[in-house]
Chain A
């Protein structure tokens, strides 16, 4: 059971939600109507699932197993411990999953950066991936916050605009695939939130001295905000509960700071071709504010771009004497460390930039010994004694 974060203003003005007073219609109802009319197939959330509350008090089903993992290009490419930790948690909790090769990126990072795409193409990419999941019988769970938000945009366009639906249906039929939409669009951090008490039951490291600041991902809770998880016991139901709920379940402290709602500075095109903006924003509006107001041991977030921007942007500002130096990781990596995961074999922290070693020491992890173990793995790989590091090696 999680506790209420002591934010006085939120205690005095509790947020009451009533689904009947929601400002927007429940898109799932429209989706089921389209299914009844024979226009679309709706892939149902497999059992067992956990029911959670979303922003306007509606219920959302989060599947526990039989999940088809829609990977993130930024996570897999540059923060591979992020994806690895998600798979590791799923395996440790004993849930069945698929890590498909029949999956493309959502292409939304490029779209939000360059606009070199259009509604039909975006719909085609999304529905191709959803159809690929449907063909396997596994339910899509989306690793990237931007893919998650963008797919919800695509769902709006396909459900509410018949002409868009027809265009995408035409493309899908040329690929020999049906038009399939999952009953719920689920972000992996929602799965982490749904199983946080199970994670806590498997916790082997004490996090009671750890202070964490949460950075919520914009495309998780701002873009089609209706689907994001909220909980009256977390921030009085006035901020999204994902990430914060996990940290509380693990016994760490969630420290508040005044720029919680600001983005990380990623900017899509900016992080690639105008990084002075991303770096300045991440430093001045996020990391320095956190340091000054909360002095956290770690920043925990739940999206590709946020981990990248907040972590990588902290190197250059040191030359200007800025107040930086807080390690950044995902909720999945944080949860995995709590459950005893190896910091290098599983969480792959050597891919991160900002110094995470003081945090590991505070968690009771001997990072020097762990690195020596990992170096032995690397030597075995180098000598071709093994081709790859396997799950068996990690668990062994």
Chain B
């Protein structure tokens, strides 16, 4: 069910002293459409039951200690269906969440972390500029997981990528081939993947990405990355006789 924009927002009411809300240039209908998509997610009813405003989620939240971030505000905005605030959170807050689910201690069994998962997913699906910015520099990880089937590979341990992890990173990087051969499990002798993934397995993974529309999401946030991943996948799929 769609709704019209409220006649006035709080900030527009006589005597209101709050600063104008962010993203006023974005039409209310666009924000509402995103919110409707969040609510339509099958997980949404499992993640929100109402909010006591007790703040247990905030007390447990690691991100709340270091950012201007509150899982309670996420749950409250969703419970009130405050479309304007939800859009603001979708842009400015959700990427601060640590996704640890410490907030699942909620006495009402809400999951603010789960709500954030959906909010992020909708933001990515619609290619919001804030999502593109949040994922800047993250593309190589997406590439790795989608094309190789393992997210973290030994050759990612490069001193220029992890200078704050100390000089050991350089030693691992320098000795990588040799040290990987010194691992007794036969599947771990790889350097560009976490373990050896069979070709058949990889093919099945590519089919999952295609059949679940994940490729469309990647295109929304990073067209260049989308093209590169598509190239890798299409080659493998075509060799196996698939036409995507």
Instruction: Enumerate chain A interface residues (CB-CB to B < 8 A).
Output: 23, 71-78, 80, 83-84, 87-88, 99-105, 107, 109-121, 124-125, 128, 132, 149, 156-157, 160-161, 163-164, 167, 170-171, 174-175, 218-219, 222-223, 225, 261-263, 265-270, 272-273, 275, 277, 279-281, 285, 312, 315-316, 345-346, 348, 350-353, 374, 377-378, 381-382, 387-391, 393-394
CA–CA, A348 to B185, complex, Å?
A: 12
Partner of B62, one of A112, A156, A267, A389: A267
- The one of A23, A100, A353 that contacts B165, using a Cβ cutoff of 8 Å: A353
Quick one: closest B residue to A109, CB to CB? Answer: B151
Q: Which of B6-14, B26-34, B79-87, B134-142 contacts A (4 or more CB under 8 A)?
A: B134-142
A146 to B, closest residue via Cβ: B99
Q: By the criterion CB–CB under 8 Å, are A78 and B208 in contact? A: no
Contact of A110 among B145, B178, B179, B198 (CB under 8 A): B145
Write out, one digit per residue, whether chain B residues 45-59 have a CB within 8 A of any chain A CB (1) or not (0).
Answer: 010000000000000
Distance in angstroms from A174 CB to nearest chain B CB is 6
| B5 contacts partner chain A, Cβ-Cβ < 8 Å | no
Specify the chain B residue showing the minimal Cβ separation from A352: B168
A104 to B181, CA, bound (A): 21
Query: How close is A151's CB to chain B, nearest CB, in angstroms?
Result: 14
A101 touches B197 (CB 8 A): yes
Are B184 and A393 touching (Cβ within 8 A)?
A: yes
Given A175-B204, A262-B62, A269-B134: A112 and B117 interface contact (C-beta under 8 Å): yes
Whether A104 touches B149, Cβ cut-off 8 Å, given contacts A116-B221, A119-B43, A281-B65, is yes
CB–CB A116/B150 < 8 A: no
User: In the bound complex, do residue A84 and residue B150 qualify as a contact, i.e. CB atoms below 8 Å apart?
Assistant: no
| Dominant secondary structure of chain A at its interface with chain B | helix
Central interface residue in A71, A118, A161, A312, by most chain B CB within 10 Å: A118
Query: Smallest CB-CB separation from A127: which chain B residue?
Result: B208
Given A113-B138, A115-B124, A76-B188 contact (CB < 8 Å): yes
Which segment, of B70-78, B209-217, B230-238, faces chain A? B209-217
Known: A83-B185, A353-B168, A389-B184. A105 touches B208 (CB 8 A): no
With A76-B195, A273-B138, A281-B62 already in contact, the answer to whether A345 and B184 are too (CB < 8 A) is yes
The answer to whether B188 touches A84 (Cβ under 8 A) is yes
- With a cutoff of 8 Å between Cβ atoms, the chain B residues found around residue A223 in the complex are 101, 104
Closest 8 CB pairs of A and B: A315-B166, A115-B120, A121-B212, A77-B152, A104-B149, A76-B194, A112-B99, A263-B100
Are the C-beta atoms of A102 and B194 separated by less than 8 Å? Answer: no
A73 to B154, CA, bound (A): 9
Size bracket of the B interface: 35 or more
A23 partner residues in chain B, CB cutoff 8 A? 109
Q: Tell me, in angstroms, the Cα distance from A316 to B166 when the chains sit together.
A: 7
B66: A residues at CB distance < 8 A: 277, 280-281
Given contacts A121-B214, A124-B212, contact A279 B101 (CB under 8 A): no
Residues A78 and B154 in contact in the complex (CB < 8 Å), given A120-B213, A350-B179: yes
CB–CB A381/B65 < 8 A: no
Complex CA gap A269/B151 in Å reads 12
Given contact pairs A112-B99, A160-B46, enumerate 7 new A-B contacts (beta carbons under 8 Å).
A87-B185, A104-B202, A124-B212, A218-B101, A351-B172, A388-B186, A390-B184
CB distance from A286 to the nearest CB of B (A): 10
Distance A351 CA – B43 CA, assembled complex (angstroms): 39
The reply on B115 being an interface residue by CB < 8 A is no
B37 to chain A minimum Cβ distance, whole angstroms, is: 12
The answer on a CB contact under 8 Å between B62 and A381 is no
Q: Is B105 an interface residue (CB 8 A)?
A: yes
Q: How far is the CB of B97 from chain A (nearest CB, A)?
A: 8
Q: Does B88 contact A (CB under 8 A)?
A: no
Of the listed residues A115, A275, A353, A382, the one surrounded by the most CB atoms of chain B closer than 10 A to its CB is A115
B135 touches A80 (CB 8 A): no
Q: Which residues in A have their C-beta under 8 angstroms from that of B123? A: 115
Smallest Cβ distance from A322 to chain B, in angstroms?
13
- Verify if B182 is at the interface (C-beta below 8 Å from A): yes
Write the nearest CB–CB distance from B113 to chain A, whole angstroms.
8
Using CB atoms, name the residue of chain B closest to A284: B65
Query: Residue B217 contacts which of A116, A268, A269, A281 (CB distance < 8 angstroms)?
Result: A116
Contact A263 B149 (CB under 8 A): no
Q: Is the CB of B62 within 8 A of A73?
A: no
Question: Can you give 27 contacting A-B residue pairs, CB < 8 Å?
Answer: A73-B150, A73-B152, A77-B156, A84-B185, A101-B195, A101-B196, A109-B145, A116-B214, A116-B217, A117-B212, A118-B212, A124-B211, A161-B42, A170-B211, A171-B211, A175-B204, A222-B104, A262-B102, A263-B100, A265-B62, A267-B63, A272-B141, A316-B165, A316-B166, A378-B182, A381-B182, A388-B186
